[in-house]
Structure 1
Amino acid sequence: MAWILIVFLIFLGGLIAPFGDILGTKIGKARFSILKLRPKKTATIITIITGGFISSISIGLLILVSEEFRQRLFVDIPLLQKTLDKSKKALVPLQKERKELESKIIQKENELNQLKSSIKEFRRGNIVIKRGQTLFIAEVNSSSNIKLDLTKIYNEADKFVRKIVFPINKDAKNILLWRPSDISKIETIASRGGDWILLIKSATNVLKGDNYVFVSPDLLENKFIVKKGDVITSAIMEKSDLNFKEINLKIKSLLRETRDEIKSKGSQVVEINTNGNFVKKIRDFLQENQNVNFMLEVVSLRDSKTVEPIVVEINIVKIAS
């Protein structure tokens, strides 16, 4: 577009020059006078006015047909510069945010690649320890020498993990790595008093033959989760539910709720141990008590602390109609 305007202006200038010259010559020959000026000066003034008029028309045409020309002619340069400066300032935090996002993307890509690698190794059967897997559990008593206890626990845990990672090489030692800050934190918490449970979990997936195993120790209060005779969960069985399919579903649901309940209280056990044949017990009850409502109660059979097994039975309680 710019080169068209340049050609147009050159062409227009070429037209204006002879036209103004011809007009001035004719006025001079006619000896036309304005304001008592000599004809020669009058011709010069008219030529100047004519040139200015034609130039104005040219500029008007350019303004009319060229948006770029209008913008360049009427733009407020200081205002434009001020707007540009504001835009640059607004761009700075965006650039910073972009760098942070790019860094996060790179981090996530690395994690994804690591995950893909772990999946491949897992499929090959080379992963012997999974991330987050509990490797060792030990009791820590604040009344004893905590540092000495932690040293003993570390040695026992290291020996146990070596058998998993290096089942043949018996010379390998000190393959467990944990941060000194974790140990300091454990010592600080345990020094407050009470009984504690130390869980040593793997921080990464570990392949067979790896030289080191990074672990994350976690200190939990060794408290009672349930006591003998505690009713952990219960459910009412209506007369319409008195078929063995519904009863089996209800028992499974109750055991799931029981597991969730003890987890919420801090228990670290994965499964619940059950005692007795629930189905037979309920069948015998129904033969003697037909068309009645009753309640199923999941009852603890022993005192259980944080990492101790949870043993339960299901009791049947008749509900008065």
Structure 2
Amino acid sequence: MTSAYILIVAVLVMGGVLATLGDRIGTRVGKARLSLFKLRPRNTATVVTIITGSLISASTLGILFGLSESLRDGVFQLDDILKKLREARREVDLVNKQKTQGEKELATAKSQQAQVEQRLAQTNRSFQQAQTQLKKVSNQASILRKEIQSLLGERQKLIQEKNQLSQEKAQALNEKAKIIEEKNIALEEKDKALEEKAQALQAKDRVIADISQREKLLTKEVDSLLGERQRLIQEQNQLIENKDRIISEIKERETILKEAIDQKENLLEEIEVKLTQKEIEINQRDRERQELEKQLAFIQQQVDILEQYYQDYQDLRQGNVALLRGQVLAFRVVRVVEPKVASVALDQLLRDANRTAIDIIQPSNSDPKEPLVQITENQANQFINEIKDGQDYVVRLLSAGNYVLGEKQIQVFADAVLNQVVFQSDDILSSTNIDPATMSDAQIQQRLDQLLTVSQFRARRAGILGKIQIGDGNAAPLVRFIEQVRKSNQPLDVTTVAGEETYTAGPLKIKLVAIKNGQVLFSN
């Protein structure tokens, strides 16, 4: 009780605090003319107030339903429990979907990692090819440098030779003009050769420059490839980190999912237990209701029978009633194999009923000209349709009213009941206790009469329509049984049982059995 008061006070305090806070926030938002979601300031204040009210309701409901299990059970009961069950199943499906989505993301990350690894492998191959090409260019550059060095050496030699020739030319100017001219010619030719070699050297210098430029470009490409490789390695590391993060998230989700599934399974078990209890209660109530309905129907039937008996009694007092309402005029067990024979069975039953009615109503008329018993056409058709399915039926024709002596017409109605097993051999009908030591002969006889009456009543109620008799109908065994009960001088349990397997048509042979401490002492 104290916890309930504390809960109510906490809800009221929180509601007041949130209301005040929402009002202050709405007032400040309105004064500051703030705007949310491109709304007007007034609408923004309204939205803030709505959100605050929603928070009040949510917090109130959260506190009530979160802290008071009895309140939850009192509010929701069975319907809410079923709704929670459906929500739990939907949450499990959602978690399964999230798990599937995480697995898909993991598969996508793995595929991206594979693609990055392929790109990295391709980059490595490109880098190796560039290194190979760089080695080739470096080898070519080394060869060209060697050639340049050899050409420079030849040029130096030619320069030295030129200088030497110039000295020789200077020394021989005065002596041999002709030789100088020849030398000049030779020098000119050599100059031409030197110029050609110089041009060749310039061409080689240009090739060397081109090679240097290509070397720089290749170096830049190698640097860019190294940068690309480094970037791909970083991306791979990032993907590996993402993969690890996704795996850890999946593990966490699996843990959460497992806990949620365990909780839901516990909740489902509790719900199933409650549902089972409810079903047991409902079934118990249904059985009680059916039993009450049966008792009510039986009581109503008994009331109708008593009313009929009273009416018959009044009729008996007022006149000479020879035939009572509901009295059986004809009784047979029939099986109609062919539907066309059903009408023949009804005609035979009507003839039997007519003879019985004549014997009761007109005993002096031995040869009536017209049939005394009549049945309506609708009842006859209904009766024929009921018995033409090829099964055994107990059929009866009963009087529809009370008739006095001399009646000219008697209206009857037909009744058909399946001839099926009602009692097995030794099925108990009723029982009573008798103590011959303390009871007189009249009391013993009265107790046995009551036992037989109750047994006959229960047999009729169970569906026996035919004859009910004690044993084979001979009174001698019954008399001997009564004498044995009187002479026993000890308390006995006397039970009535079915003497043999009995169908609806009867006859039911009642067997009396005397029992002491669960052992049969004697029977009729």
State the TM-score bracket (shorter-chain normalisation): 0.5 to 0.7
2:439 maps to which of 244, 247, 252: 244
Task: Please report how far the alpha carbon of residue 202 of structure 1 lies from its aligned counterpart in structure 2 after TM superposition.
Answer: 0.9
CA RMSD of the aligned region, Å? 3.0
The answer as to whether partners of 1:276 and 1:313 remain within 8 angstroms in 2 is no
SS at match of 2:450: helix
Deviation of 1:242 (Å): 4.2
Partner AA of 1:279 in structure 2: I
SS in 2 for 1:276: helix
1:267 is aligned to 2:464:
yes
What's the counterpart of residue 188 of structure 1?
385
Check whether the contact 2:421–2:501 (CA below 8 A) recurs between aligned residues. yes
The amino acid across from 1:152 in the alignment is: Q
Q: Counterparts of 1:255 and 1:156 in 2: how far apart (Å)?
A: 31
Flag the 1:234–1:188 CA change in 2: closer, same or farther, 3 A: same
Alignment of 1:270-281 (within 5 A): 272-273=469-470, 275-277=477-479, 278-281=481-484
Task: Confirm or deny that 1:283 pairs with 2:283.
Answer: no
Task: Name the structure 2 match of 1:319.
Answer: 517
Larger radius of gyration: 2
- Which of 347, 351, 354 in structure 2 is aligned with 1:155? 351
Of Structure 1 and Structure 2, the greater helix share is in 2
Once the two structures are TM-superposed, the CA of residue 119 in structure 1 deviates from its matched residue by 4.9
Please state how far the C-alpha of 1:295 moved relative to its aligned partner.
2.1
Answer 1 or 2: which has greater strand percent.
1
- Aligned residues of 1:140 and 1:146 also touching (Cα < 8 A): no
Q: Secondary structure at the match of 1:244?
A: coil
Unaligned runs of 5+ in 2: 1-310, 472-476, 520-524
Which structure 1 segments of 5+ residues have no match?
A: 1-114
- 2:264 aligns with none
Match of 2:335 in 1: 141
508, 519, 522: which one pairs with 1:310?
Answer: 508
Q: Could you tell me which residue of structure 1 aligns to residue 451 of structure 2? A: 254
**Does the 8 Å CA contact 2:419/2:504 hold for their aligned counterparts?**
yes
User: What do the CA deviations read for 1:194-220 (whole angstroms, capped 9, x no partner)?
Assistant: 211111111122222222111111112
Say if 2:468 and 2:510, in contact at 8 Å, map to a contact too: no
Query: Hey, what's the Cα distance between the residues in 2 that align with 1:211 and 1:227?
Result: 44
2:329–2:352 contact (8 Å) kept in structure 1 = no
State the distance in 1 between where 2:329 and 2:518 align. 50
Query: How far has the Cα of 1:135 moved from its partner?
Result: 1.3
How far residue 123 of structure 1 moved from its aligned partner, in angstroms, is 4.6
Indicate which of 286, 291, 297 corresponds to 2:495.
297
Using CA pairs under 8 Å that are at least 6 residues apart, name the structure with larger relative contact order, 1 or 2: 1
Q: Percent of aligned positions with the same letter in both sequences?
A: 18
2: CA distance, partners of 1:249 / 1:160:
34
Question: CA, structure 1 residues 313+281, in 2 after alignment: closer, same or farther (shift >3 Å)?
Answer: farther
Aligned length: 198
Aligned to 1:206: 403
TM-score under structure 2 length normalisation: 0.34
Paired amino acid for 1:244:
M
Question: What's the secondary structure of 2:494's corresponding residue?
Answer: strand
Matches of 1:315 and 1:267, distance apart in 2: 21
Q: Which SS does the other structure have where 1:268 is aligned?
A: coil
Secondary structure, aligned partner of 1:296: strand
Tell me the amino acid that sits aligned with residue 423 of structure 2.
V
Pairing partner for 1:234 from 431, 439, 457 = 431
Please, what TM-score do these two structures have when normalized by structure 1?
A: 0.53
Greater shift in the superposed pair: 270-279 or 169-178: 270-279
1:64 corresponds in structure 2 to none
Alignment of 1:27-46 (within 5 A): none
**Shift in CA distance, 197/280, structure 1 to aligned 2, threshold 3 Å:** same
- Is the 2:337–2:389 contact (alpha carbons within 8 Å) kept by the matching residues of 1? no
> What is the identity, as a one-letter code, of the residue corresponding to 2:410?
V
In the TM superposition, what is the alpha-carbon distance from 1:294 to its structure 2 partner? 3.6
* 2:478 match: secondary structure: coil
Q: How far apart are 1:190 and its partner, in Å?
A: 1.2
Query: Structure 1 pair 119/252, CA: closer, same or farther in 2 (3 Å)?
Result: closer
Query: For residues 263 and 285 of structure 1, what CA distance do their matches in structure 2 show?
Result: 32
Offset from partner CA, 1:155-194 (integer Å, 9 cap, x none): 2322332233333331322221111111122122212332
Instruction: Return closer, same or farther for 1:260/1:159 CA change in 2, 3 Å cut-off.
Output: closer
User: CA separation in 2, counterparts of 1:285 and 1:186?
Assistant: 53
Amino acid at match of 2:510: V
